[in-house]
Structure 1
Amino acid sequence: MCGIAGMFSVKPMHPEDGYTLSRMLKTIEHRGPDGEGSYVDAGRGLAMGHTRLSIIDLNTGEQPIHNKDKSLSLTVNGEFYDFKKYRSHAMAEGDRFSCKSDSEIALTLYRKYGKAFVEHLRGEFAFALYDREKDEMLFVRDRFGIRPLFYYNSGETLVYGSEVKAILAHPDVPKRLSRKAALHQLMQTIKPGTSAFEDIVAVEPGHMMVVRKRNGKLETSTRKYWDMNFPEVDARDDMMSEEDHVEKVREKLIESVIFRLEADVPVGCYLSGGIDSCSILGLATGAMQSPVKAFTISFDDDKYDEAHIAKEMSDSMQADQEQINLKAEDLYGDNFIKTVWHAERTFYNTLGVAKYLMSKRVRECGYKTVVTGEGADELFGGYPAFKRDMFLYGLDSERPEERARLQGLLDESNKLFKGAILAENQLKHSAFEELCGFTPSWIQPWMATLELAKPLLSDEAQEEIGDYDPIEGIASKIDPKMLMNRHALDKAQYTWSKCQLEGQILNWGGDRVDMANSMESRPAFLDHHLAEVAMQVPANLRVKGNIEKWVLREAVKGVLPEVLYKREKFAFMAPPAHTSPDKQAKVNELIERFLNPDALRRSELLSPKRTAQFLEDYRKDKDPISLTRKDTLLNHLLCLQILSETFVENPVVSP
């Protein structure tokens, strides 16, 4: 795991560009404190940099990596699994390798298959590859967007980096928060392929971007090499039995976990009270034939805390469990600010801060790598919003009274999270109605938040945005071909995965807060071989009656305690600020610093008057659903102001 940054220009590099590259790498040294490398070809306008976190091949493997005649140069952030198979095949054909790193197989595969080489790569990765003969750069991102990759293109120079802060370190890149993006940030759901910053965009998951020089300008072309392709309703294989589906899921999940245990350093596991991380711990223990180090977060509110269930799983596996107990003073203050700086986006819940502190504890315990459970809900229909859409639109054969019964059970078990992950009332938007035939339940709470958020923007920001509709903007980035003739549950899972998986789960819930402390997380469920099996599972085996992730439960039944096997999905969230006086006191300190009138006037993003009124209404509110929604918006307001201060007004190299 590492960080990459660099430049590609139609103009030759100047001597100071080498210093610029060094500044860029300095901003992401947390991604790779074990080494730094760079390669500059001034005449060709090329500068490639790399910061290294050594996990495989500790003694060699420095980057950039070149082939023998330097016609190809490569920098990689991430891991390629099953790389030993490709190395063996290549060596049998006469190829030689300069190191034992997994990264080098990308060069071998590129020489053999050309641009089709990406289809042979398995893992989580974002990388830059320069082809000297063609004088072109390739930028590739893994299928789900587990590893980040951003760029800014002036037309003559493209500046890229694993994190936006590396790009902002270039003197020619404007440092400005996008007003449209600010609205997305406040409502939680960002437009796929964008960042919070003006003209800085992301290479999208499952995409390759090729950059060439033509007529004094940089020409870019992008192609999608992979997507979550659910079968059309009338094209599913009905010959497979329930047992067949369970066995295929089990087989591919075990294979994925085994690959992610490959490292030259110790590998641990994140462990919460859900079946996802618990199944990972169970399978990892079986694969290693020895106890595994497990890391668990505990909150000071019994309604949100799952540590007692995680301990039951840990005890059953005889794991060496490390538990971090978090209170209000941990989740706010400097830790909140640092998490925003690393995430480079806003977040609705301090779970991101908790994950930041957890990765810090992992490193303190001497671990650089953990296997995690992210992605199971996306593949197997685990979120409450998915169940709601299944009950509303995916149970054609069920009687209305049975649908109503299931809906009632869902609403009762998720009362705690209404206003955040479930809307209390059904909402519709024409863009999604046209796209899906319904408005997915997962976006509805953020549509309600949008109604609160948009008036809080400053008059200048609202004028700049004009009549821009962020919901329509999100829908416009989703490929309608992938939704045609699909089941309602497929549509819900697909649209969520295109938006919230990359922009939330894998950002401030994953890579960005883990790598903040130089710690690599490996989400075993997000293996595309497992995903392709999961997408073949019929909807009624993903959500069976009132049981979400049924096929996964059956696949891992043998390693789960009974309480976990039977337990309904419980959203993993930190207690919101309104749930205790000490959290209210800590969040008030952030309010006084970042939401005071002077700070709001400096950022020019929010209206001081309307924000003050929102805060007054928030402090008077007693309704738990309304407070939950306002808590999410309050977090976004604070984060947006922190982004402005630390990246625009007074940029810092580290928080």
Structure 2
Amino acid sequence: MCGIAGIFYREKNRPVNAQLLANMAAIQHHRGPDGFGVEVMEGQGVGFSHARLSIIDLNENRARQPFRSADESLLLAHNGEFYDYQRIRTDLTSRGARFATKSDSEIILHLYPRFGMEETLRRLRGEFAFALYDAKEDALHLVRDRFGIKPLYYHMSDTGVVFGSEIKVVMAHPEVPRRFNNEGLLHQLMQVMVPGTTPYEGIHQVKPGHIVTFRRQGLGYQVEDRPYWDFEFPEADFHKGPKDEAESIEAVREGLTEAVRLRLEADVPVGCYLSGGVDSCSILGLSAAMRQDPVKAFTIGFTDKAYDETPIAQEMAAATGADQDILRLDANQLYGHFEKTVWHAERTIYNTLAVAKYLMSQHVRDAGYKVVVTGEGSDELFAGYPSFRRDLFLHGLDDMDAGERKRWESMLGESNALFKGAMLAEEEHDDLYLTDRVGFTPSCLQPWLSCEDTARGVLNQDRAALLADYKPGFAIAEKLDRTKLDGRHPLDRAQYVWSKTMLEGQILTWGGDRVDMANSMEARPAFLDHHLAEMATRIPPLHRIKDRKEKYVLKEAMKGLLPKTLYEREKFAFMAPPATINKDKWNAMMALADEHLSESAVAESGLLDAAAVKGLIAEAQSDNTARARKVQLDAVINHMLGVQMLYRHFVSTDVPALAEAKAKELGWTAEANIKAAG
């Protein structure tokens, strides 16, 4: 896992500044503190840089990126891990390939010339983002893994393309603008983003499972953005008729076992994250079964017992003989590191779970670990969130009799009461555009879409006026591929929408890569192995959710590894306690508000309306405000703090100067790069 950056100028004869590339590597030093590299292809108007975190092939001189092909026609910068790469290397060697390193990254330079991009990607397994320049085609390819586990951003202008693993890396180029766009700002306050977008003008994401190709053409570029993989469910008819439950269970057991085995391979120690959920407990159980030595298990604990899962995590650790390390967090710790977390996430966060994850990755790194295997993705594959159960009940069980329907309604009412206003909307929210595209408005989006009026109300009035005709639901719906939704079972549609919105925009950003790599720590989500995912799409909906058991098929597959308490327990969404219902957290939140949401700070940024901000905080503090509304307002206040912090760090701050200063501090200079390369 690393950080990549690069420049592809429209004019081939425009020199690429090697020191600027070194600066772009330096500002993401946290992603790769073990070394850096810069490569400029003279006369091609292209150059890449790389900040390295050593996981595979620890020899810095040998495995130093960016890589060039033997014939000098290809330039590669790669971030991530390719699993099963040894088998691919063996096959390529038998075809005449000669490898210069032991790195997994190098396989691209041998796959691509032999098989082309599409077949290369079909053979790759893992989480990755890479840039490949092909001098023969005069084309730059930006590629992101199937689920978007690894980030990749770019900016295109009349003068060139600038890309990087993080937005701040792209902004380190002095020609890239640093300002919010109004639509992105509104979505930041609502939590849910439009797939492929960012809140910053002209800066885009490579979408998960996509290739964006830039070819020089005349006075500009020919740009092609195409998918190479999607999370695709079968037609609803596929699920009709009896299905063998035992076959589903065995398929999950085999698929997850293989995914975990591959992710335990590294040239450094590998630990596990452990909450009290079935996902991380399954990962730990399998890891312990495959290892001879005790697995290091890292657990987050909260001082608020209603949100704390450490008792079950301790039970699981004891059952597997794991060496458990518990990090307990209170309100001051969470809000004390809120701004730093936002700087790394580069987007707003609705819950301080992101801060907890940031502090945990720091703790893991301090304990001497660079790699952990995690449970992210399980809820996406096996319908673990309360919103999925709700959508199945409302839209996928039409043949249910009155008694059974009443029982399901009771289950929905009892479950996840703590998270009304965040994980579930307090009231039904029907969006015309999403209902047209999906068939209903997915429950996972409803709590955030229901924040639209509140978010618009706190916007700077001039900005709000410019958004009068903007429809957030329409913008999201337009990015969803109708061909992957039409004719599918309602539960499959709900899971597909989540994967395109909340998974990539939340779970894998401020809940994953960005807060993990903030402390140079690589997280490997085994459930997001695409072989496992493709199998999971074919599991019948009522094997995923059965009666009161969400992720039923997973629990049955892992039954022998899980403590009885966990096996019988319903899904409990892992999140930090909201500040609006916790006095200590509220005081810590308001300390930040005094600085970032003051009248002067709001006036300086021009993003929010000071009077509306004050009124919203008063509503959140009132004893007359319902609990679910307080939970919702907690999220909006966190978002308001976030946009103000983003303004401070990425708009009012001179990011190119910051990157230059960081490079000087580290000694990451063009001269140092030449010396290292020699």
Higher mean C-alpha displacement, 621-630 vs 181-190: 621-630
Q: Hey, what does 2:208 align to over in structure 1?
A: 205
Question: Paired residue for 2:40?
Answer: 40
Report the CA distance shift for 1:651/1:410 in structure 2 as closer, same or farther (over 3 A). Answer: farther
Q: Deviations over 1:607-637 (max 9, x none)?
A: 1111111112222244211111110111010
Code of the residue aligned with 1:489 in structure 2: it is L
Counterpart residue number, 1:7: 7
Query: Offset at 1:402?
Result: 1.4
| Greater Cα shift, 573-582 or 179-188 | 573-582
Deviation of 1:404 (Å): 2.6
Answering whether residue 260 of structure 2 is matched by residue 257 of structure 1, we say yes
* Other structure's SS at 2:162 match: strand
Q: Kindly state the Cα deviation for residue 558 of structure 1 after the two structures are TM-superposed.
A: 1.1
Question: What is the distance in 2 between the residues matched to 1:358 and 1:595?
Answer: 28
1:424 to 423, 426, 438: 426
Whole-angstrom distance in 2 between the partners of 1:197 and 1:441: 28
What secondary structure sits across from 2:445 in the alignment? helix
Partners of 2:215 and 2:320 lie apart in 1 by 53
Paired amino acid for 1:532: E
Rounded to whole Å, the distance in 2 between the matches of 1:153 and 1:139 is 12
Aligned to 2:172: 169
In the TM superposition, what is the alpha-carbon distance from 1:42 to its structure 2 partner? 3.7
Give the distance between the partners of 1:614 and 1:148, measured in 2 at CA.
33
Partners in 2 of 1:452 and 1:240 — Cα distance? 46
Contact 1:9 1:218 in 2 (8 A): no
Q: Confirm whether residue 26 of structure 1 aligns to residue 29 of structure 2.
A: no
Residue 88 of structure 2 is matched in structure 1 by 86
SS in 2 for 1:370: strand
Deviation per CA, 1:200-222, whole angstroms, max 9, x where unpaired? 00000001111100002122101
SS in 2 for 1:43: coil
Match of 1:365 in 2: 367
Residue of structure 1 equivalent to 2:342: 340
CA deviations over 1:274-308 (Å, ceiling 9, x no partner) = 00000000001111133100000000101000011
Pair 1:643-2:646 in alignment: yes
- In 2, distance between residues paired with 1:105 and 1:85? 11
Deviation at 1:237, TM superposition (A): 8.1
User: Which residue does the alignment assign to 1:540?
Assistant: 542
Distance in 2 between the 1:423 and 1:548 partners? 19
Which of 99, 102, 107 is the aligned partner of 2:101?
99
The residue that corresponds to 1:278 in the other structure is: 281
The correspondence of residues 458-469 of structure 1 with structure 2, limited to 5 A, is 458-469=460-471
* Aligned counterparts of 1:225 and 1:206: Cα–Cα separation in 2: 6
Residue aligning to 1:123: 126
CA-CA distance at 1:587 after TM superposition = 0.7
Residue 306 of structure 2: aligned partner:
303
In structure 1, distance between residues paired with 2:280 and 2:473: 32
Asked if 1:491 is matched to 2:488, the reply is no
Q: Which amino acid in structure 1 is aligned with residue 7 of structure 2?
A: M
Ranges in structure 2 where 5+ consecutive residues have no aligned partner = 663-678
Q: Take 2:582 and 2:375, find their aligned partners in 1: how far apart are those partners?
A: 29
Alignment counterpart, residue 625 of structure 1, candidates 624, 628, 632 = 628
Q: Deviations over 1:413-437 (max 9, x none)?
A: 2111101111121110111111121
In structure 2, distance between residues paired with 1:143 and 1:282:
26
**Shift in Å, 1:48:** 0.4
Task: Give the Cα–Cα distance (whole angstroms) in 1 for the partners of residues 147 and 241 of structure 2.
Answer: 28
Greater CA drift, 534-543 or 608-617: 608-617
Deviation at 1:235, TM superposition (A): 3.1
- What is the aligned partner in structure 2 of residue 145 from structure 1? 148
Task: Verify: 1:50 aligned to 2:53, yes or no.
Answer: no
CA contact (8 A) 1:359 1:517 kept: yes
Q: Which moved more, 1:583-592 or 1:237-246?
A: 237-246
Deviation string for 1:95-141 (max 9, x for gaps)? 11010000111111111211221111100000001111111111110
Match of residue 133 from structure 1: 136
Q: Which residue of 1 aligns with 2:667?
A: none
- 1:396 deviates by 2.3
CA contact (8 A) 1:20 1:170 kept: yes
Alignment map for 1:227-626 (pairs within 5 Å): 227-236=230-239, 240-333=243-336, 335-621=337-623, 622-626=625-629
1:29–1:13 distance in 2 versus 1, CA, 3 Å: farther
Distance in 1, matches of 2:609 and 2:126, equals 44
SS of match in other structure, 1:103: coil
Describe the SS at the equivalent of 1:572.
Answer: coil
Separation in structure 1 between the aligned mates of residue 138 and residue 383 of structure 2, nearest angstrom:
44
Q: Distance in 1 between matches of 2:292 and 2:396?
A: 42
In structure 2, relative to structure 1, the CA distance for the partners of 1:550 and 1:582 (3 Å cut) is: same
Given that 2:392 and 2:491 are in contact with CA atoms closer than 8 Å, whether structure 1 keeps it comes out as yes
Query: Structure 2: which amino acid aligns with 1:428?
Result: D
| Partner Cα distance (1:458, 1:395) in 2 | 44
Of residues 108, 111, 120, the one that matches 1:109 is 111
Superposition TM-score, scaled by structure 1 size: 0.98
- Write out per-residue CA displacement over residues 179-205 of structure 1, whole angstroms, 9 at most, x where no aligned residue: 110100111100000112111000000
Q: Match for 2:275: what amino acid?
A: S
- What amino acid sits opposite 2:30 in the alignment? H
**Partner Cα distance (2:585, 2:230) in 1:** 41
> Within 1, Cα distance between the matches of 2:40 and 2:240?
52
> Does structure 1 conserve the Cα–Cα contact (< 8 Å) formed by 2:485 and 2:493?
yes
1:239 CA displacement: 7.1
CA contact (8 A) 1:156 1:218 kept: no
* Letter aligned with residue 39 of structure 2: Y
Q: Deviations over 1:491-512 (max 9, x none)?
A: 1100011000000000000000
Give the whole-Å Cα distance in 2 for the aligned partners of 1:41 and 1:362. Answer: 38
Q: Which consecutive unaligned segments of at least 5 residues does structure 1 have? A: none
Distance 1:379 1:446 in 2: 22
Q: How far does the alpha carbon of each residue in 1:345-403 deviate from its partner, in whole angstroms, 9 at most, with x for none?
A: 00110000000000000000000000000000000000000000111111122113312
Identity %: 51
Count of paired positions: 654
Instruction: Give the deviation of 1:651 after TM superposition.
Output: 4.2
Query: C-alpha separation between the residues in 2 aligned to 1:239 and 1:611?
Result: 55
After superposition, the Cα gap between the structure-2 partners of 1:425 and 1:404, relative to the gap in structure 1 and judged at 3 Å, is farther
Q: Which amino acid aligns with 2:614?
A: A
* 2:674 corresponds to: none
Q: Deviations over 1:478-533 (max 9, x none)?
A: 00110011001001100011000000000000000000000000000000000011
Report if the CA contact (8 A) 1:14-1:42 is conserved: no
Report the secondary structure of 1:504's partner residue. helix
C-alpha distance in structure 2 between counterparts of 1:354 and 1:36, whole Å: 29
The normalised TM-score by structure 2 is 0.95
Q: Secondary structure at the match of 2:71?
A: coil
Structure 2: how far apart are the matches of 1:546 and 1:403? Answer: 13
Contact preservation (8 Å) 1:13, 1:46:
no
Q: Per the alignment, in what secondary structure is the counterpart of residue 578 of structure 1?
A: helix
Is contact 2:15-2:43 (8 Å) kept? no
**Paired residues of 1:371 and 1:524 also in contact (CA < 8 A):** yes
Of the structure 1 ranges 7-16 and 493-502, higher mean CA displacement relative to structure 2 is found in: 7-16
* Deviation (angstroms), 1:12: 4.1
Q: Distance in 1 between matches of 2:107 and 2:357?
A: 32
Separation (CA, whole Å) in 2 of partners of 1:602 and 1:42:
43
- Whole-Å separation in 2 of the counterparts to 1:605 and 1:13: 40
